Chains A and B, each alone.
Chain A
Amino acid sequence: MKSLFLVIAVLAIFAWYLSFLATRLDRLHHRVETSWANLDALLQKRAAIAIEIARSDIADPASQLLLTFAAHQARDASVKDRSQAESSLTGALGILLQTAEDIDSALEQELLHELIELNQKITVAIALHVETVNRTQLIRSKLFIRFFRLAGKAPLPVTYEFEADVI
Chain B
Amino acid sequence: MPIGKKRIGIVCPYGWDTPGGVQAHVADLAQYLISQGHYVSVLAPTLSDENLPDYLVSAGKPISIPYNGAVARILFGPIAFARVRQWISNGDFDLLHLHEPAIPSISFLACVAAEGPMVGTFHASAKRQKVIFAIGPILEPVIEKLTARIAVSEAARATLTEHLETDAVVVPNGIYASRLASGQLRSEWSKNTIGFIGRFEEPRKGLQLLVEALPQIISSVPDVRVLVAGPGDSQEFLKDVAPHLAHKFEFLGRISEEEKADFLHSVSIYVAPNTGGESFGIILAEALAGGAAVVASDIPAFEALLGGGKYGALFTSEDSSSLASTIVDLLHDDSRRNHLRSEGKSHAQSFDWDLIAQRIYDVYEMAMVGLGKVSLSSDTRAWSKFLGR
**A138 to B147, alpha carbons, bound, how many Å?**
16
**A149 to B118, alpha carbons, bound, how many Å?**
28
CB contacts under 8 Å to B, within A15-44, are 19-20, 23-24, 27-28, 31, 33-35, 37-38
Assess the A121–B362 pair: CB atoms within 8 A.
yes
A9 at interface, CB cutoff 8 A: no
Residues of chain A within 8 A of B144, CB atoms compared = 24, 27-28, 135
Task: Closest A residue to B145 by CB, please name it.
Answer: A27
List the one stretch of B17-25, B61-69, B195-203, B366-374 in contact with chain A. Answer: B366-374
**A35 to B370, alpha carbons, bound, how many Å?**
9
Residue-wise, chain B 21-32 has the 8 Å CB interface mask toward A (1 for contact) of 000000000000
Name the one of A20, A33, A121, A138 contacting B366, with C-beta atoms under 8 angstroms: A121
B177 at interface, CB cutoff 8 A: no
CB distance from A159 to the nearest CB of B (A): 12
B148 at interface, CB cutoff 8 A: yes
CB distance from A42 to the nearest CB of B (A): 9
Residues of chain B within 8 A of A138, CB atoms compared = 165
Assess the B166–A131 pair: CB atoms within 8 A.
yes
CB distance from B363 to the nearest CB of A (A): 6
**A138 to B166, alpha carbons, bound, how many Å?**
11
A99 at interface, CB cutoff 8 A: no
Residues of chain B within 8 A of A121, CB atoms compared = 362, 365-366
Residue-wise, chain A 105-129 has the 8 Å CB interface mask toward B (1 for contact) of 0000000000000001100110110
B97 at interface, CB cutoff 8 A: no
Assess the A19–B382 pair: CB atoms within 8 A.
yes
Majority SS at the chain B contact face: mixed
B265 at interface, CB cutoff 8 A: no
A130 at interface, CB cutoff 8 A: yes
Assess the B147–A31 pair: CB atoms within 8 A.
yes
Assess the B369–A38 pair: CB atoms within 8 A.
yes
Assess the B148–A128 pair: CB atoms within 8 A.
yes
A-B contact count (CB 8 A): 52
Assess the A37–B169 pair: CB atoms within 8 A.
no
B383 at interface, CB cutoff 8 A: yes
Residues of chain B within 8 A of A33, CB atoms compared = 370
Assess the A127–B370 pair: CB atoms within 8 A.
no
Task: Closest B residue to A128 by CB, please name it.
Answer: B148
Residues of chain B within 8 A of A38, CB atoms compared = 366, 369-370
CB distance from A32 to the nearest CB of B (A): 12
Say which size band chain B's interface belongs to.
20 to 34
CB contacts under 8 Å to B, within A120-167, are 120-121, 124-125, 127-128, 130-131, 134-135, 138
Task: Closest A residue to B171 by CB, please name it.
Answer: A124
7 contacts between A and B (CB under 8 A): A23-B381, A24-B141, A124-B169, A124-B362, A127-B168, A128-B148, A131-B168
B149 at interface, CB cutoff 8 A: yes
CB distance from B387 to the nearest CB of A (A): 13
Task: With a 10 A CB-CB cut-off, give which of B145, B359, B365, B369 has the most chain A CB atoms.
Answer: B369
Task: Closest B residue to A21 by CB, please name it.
Answer: B141
Residues of chain A within 8 A of B169, CB atoms compared = 124, 127-128
B167 at interface, CB cutoff 8 A: yes
Assess the A23–B382 pair: CB atoms within 8 A.
yes
Residues on A facing B (Cβ under 8 Å): 19-20, 23-24, 27-28, 31, 33-35, 37-38, 120-121, 124-125, 127-128, 130-131, 134-135, 138
**A31 to B145, alpha carbons, bound, how many Å?**
10
CB contacts under 8 Å to A, within B298-343, are none
Assess the A131–B149 pair: CB atoms within 8 A.
yes
**A24 to B147, alpha carbons, bound, how many Å?**
13
Residues of chain B within 8 A of A31, CB atoms compared = 147, 371
Assess the B366–A124 pair: CB atoms within 8 A.
yes
Known: A19-B382, A34-B371, A120-B359. A125 touches B366 (CB 8 A): yes
Task: With a 10 A CB-CB cut-off, give which of B115, B359, B362 has the most chain A CB atoms.
Answer: B362
Residues of chain A within 8 A of B370, CB atoms compared = 33-34, 37-38
Task: Knowing that A124-B363, A128-B367 touch, tell me 20 more A-B residue pairs with CB under 8 angstroms.
Answer: A19-B382, A19-B383, A23-B381, A24-B141, A27-B115, A27-B144, A27-B145, A33-B370, A34-B369, A34-B371, A38-B369, A124-B148, A127-B169, A128-B148, A128-B366, A130-B167, A131-B166, A131-B167, A134-B167, A138-B165
Residues of chain B within 8 A of A20, CB atoms compared = 141
Residues of chain B within 8 A of A125, CB atoms compared = 366
**A28 to B140, alpha carbons, bound, how many Å?**
13
**A34 to B165, alpha carbons, bound, how many Å?**
22
Residues of chain A within 8 A of B359, CB atoms compared = 120
Task: Closest A residue to B148 by CB, please name it.
Answer: A128
Task: With a 10 A CB-CB cut-off, give which of B115, B145, B169, B366 has the most chain A CB atoms.
Answer: B366
Residue-wise, chain B 174-185 has the 8 Å CB interface mask toward A (1 for contact) of 000000000000
Task: With a 10 A CB-CB cut-off, give which of A19, A33, A38, A124 has the most chain B CB atoms.
Answer: A124
Assess the A135–B166 pair: CB atoms within 8 A.
yes
Assess the B167–A120 pair: CB atoms within 8 A.
no
